[in-house]
Amino acid sequence: MECELEIRRRLQGAGQEQLLSFWDELSPGERDSLLGELRLLDGAELQEHCRRALDAYVRESSSPQRLDHRMSPVPPEFLGSVRKSAPEELEAWEEEGYRQISQNKVAVLLLAGGQGTRLGVTYPKGMYSVGLPSGKTLYQIQAERILRLQQLAGEKYSTRCTVPWYIMTSEFTLNPTRAFFEQHNFFGIDRTDVVMFEQRMLPAVGFNGKVILERKDKVAMAPDGNGGLYKALADNHILEDMEARGISYIHVYCVDNILVKLADPVFIGFCVSKGADCGAKVVEKSYPSEPVGVVCQVDGIYQVVEYSEISPETAEKCNPDGSLTYNAGSICNHFFTLDFLKNMAGSLEKRLGYHVAIKKVPYVDEEGNLVKPTRPNGIKMEKFVFDVFQFAKNFVAFEVVREEEFSPLKNADTADKDTPTTARRSLLWQHYRWALKAGAKFTNANGRAIAENAGTPEADEPPAICEISPLISYFGEGLDVHLNNMDISPPFILDIQKV
């Protein structure tokens, strides 16, 4: 094991000796902790990381490169759509998806390594409750969708099947997430089918090219982005675990989407039927200048183009039917084959570029005082999960309905979108629509019918508060038997205990 002297030499060679500036002031325990972190930092890699961060920062500070004249939309033959595809096509894809699930060939992989900084909490986002009548957290909602999906596929094919749940965490979220799942008995899922693993951490770099000290005894570290998935799959032998279970297809998604359809049979079936090795769910942009990335081709290669990389004219460009030409909004919801992930976790991972995030990073100044900066002072480097589209041999995209499948939770309620309030409303409006379709009748305390179409999902709670457990219905199916011609006085919760 390297001693303090050897590590000091290595840091000096990398130009990062400032990380031991307060060595003489540290207790034995603090010294051990700091040395433990520093042993993980290879000198040459650290030097290269800091150089790369500075170069990226310089590029980020300059005008973004416009990609307008190099872009083309996803060709129609590689784009499926919930709205535009024929009902018999959707049914066939769903049937194929359920068939793969029933044969234990499908897994879900949750990206849950980020901190809830913008949300204003100090615990993992999956543990957050948006204020539903049931009080359920994002983790519980997702766990119950998995359980219901297994049940549906098993009933359809008269078998017993499993959808393993892989959860990529970070240094910040692993232990709290593990404790939360244990506290809740893994929400009814067999604990051997929940596999948690940790992504790598990278040092934050100051604008002077020096790694930032968060405390006298701690380097400022940050997860390497959701694109750190591919390295983490290799580091933690996750692909071997998938292969041992017979997994062929993996649905990857982000923790913050309250409407996510885990292992969506329609999406899985579409991708399998098209022979895709890589696929992405997309939603129509709400308006031309909406600040979301767009799935498209650049020089014939698939990628996500950020809104800052195209001109307003390109963003507003329309097809002959009036629809936006570049309309496939990225929602970080992906399909991969196991073979594709094996290739990515191998030699191809090193070919993924880094993106720069300029952040406010707490640090200790030269006198050892803790400083919480009021403006950005550090560079965090990260990879994006969708940067692998370029390596797909057969890429497809699948357009879904935003109000049914995408409502992310990113900000505190002081923001104007993607908040706990907007997430809660999205789910409750969805359940309200499901209940009406199933034949439910909502009445107030006086027994009078509630107007069905009062309010709007963007601005109001639904006319009647009705929450439906994922254990009862995965995506609106099977509710007639529970709700048809039923007079409901809200707030109403339809859960497994009430059936």
Cα 325 to Cα 309: distance, rounded to the nearest angstrom: 16
Give the model's confidence band at 187: pLDDT under 50 very low, under 70 low, under 90 confident, else very high.
Answer: very high
pLDDT tens figures, 366-417: 999 999 999 999 999 999 999 999 999 999 999 999 999 999 999 999 998 9
| Residues 245 and 117: beta-carbon distance below 8 Å | no
Residue 456 has pLDDT above 80, yes or no: no
**Residues whose CB falls within 8 Å of the CB of residue 444, separated by 6 or more in sequence, listed in order:** 450, 489
Q: Which backbone phi and psi does 84 adopt, to 5 degrees? A: -100, -15
Give the model's confidence band at 64: pLDDT under 50 very low, under 70 low, under 90 confident, else very high.
Answer: low
pLDDT tens figures, 309-345: 899 999 999 999 999 999 999 999 999 999 999 999 9
How much is the pLDDT for 430? 97
How much is the pLDDT for 61? 74
Residue 66 has pLDDT above 90, yes or no: no
Cα 248 to Cα 265: distance, rounded to the nearest angstrom: 14
Residue 498 has pLDDT above 70, yes or no: no
* CATH architecture type of domain 68-405: Alpha-Beta Complex (3.90)
Give the residues across from 443 on adjacent strands: 449
How much is the pLDDT for 376? 93
Poorest-confidence range of 50-64, 190-204, 256-270? 50-64
**Residue whose token pair is 């939770």:** 409
Question: Nearest to residue 391, comparing CAs of 199, 163, 200, 230?
Answer: 230
Question: Nearest to residue 395, comparing CAs of 277, 267, 282, 299?
Answer: 277
Tell me how crowded residue 402 is: count the other CB atoms within 10 A of its CB: 17
pLDDT tens figures, 90-123: 999 999 999 999 999 999 999 998 777 789 898 9
Give SS3 for 106: strand
Residue 179 has pLDDT above 90, yes or no: yes
pLDDT tens figures, 149-174: 999 999 999 999 999 999 999 988 99
How much is the pLDDT for 294? 96
Which amino acid is residue 385, in one-letter code? V
Give the model's confidence band at 242: pLDDT under 50 very low, under 70 low, under 90 confident, else very high.
Answer: very high
Give the model's confidence band at 446: pLDDT under 50 very low, under 70 low, under 90 confident, else very high.
Answer: confident
**Residues whose CB falls within 8 Å of the CB of residue 259, separated by 6 or more in sequence, listed in order:** 404, 405, 406, 407, 426, 427, 430
Helix, strand, coil shares of the chain as percentages rounded to 5? 40, 20, 40
Percentage with pLDDT > 90 across the chain: 84
In terms of phi and psi (left: phi > 0; alpha: psi -120 to 50; beta: otherwise), the region of 476 is left
Percentage with pLDDT > 70 across the chain: 98
Cα 43 to Cα 35: distance, rounded to the nearest angstrom: 14
User: How many helical (H) and strand (E) elements, i.e. helices and strands, does the chain have?
Assistant: 14, 24
Q: Residue ranges per domain, the chain?
A: 4-61, 68-405, 430-498
Which amino acid is residue 175, in one-letter code? N
From the options 3.20.20.80, 2.60.40.1220, 2.10.10.100, 1.40.20.10, give the CATH code of 430-498: 2.10.10.100
pLDDT tens figures, 421-431: 999 999 999 99
Average pLDDT score over the chain: 94
| Residues 108 and 253: beta-carbon distance below 8 Å | yes
Cis peptide before 491 (omega within 30 of 0): yes
How much is the pLDDT for 460? 84
Tell me how crowded residue 454 is: count the other CB atoms within 10 A of its CB: 11
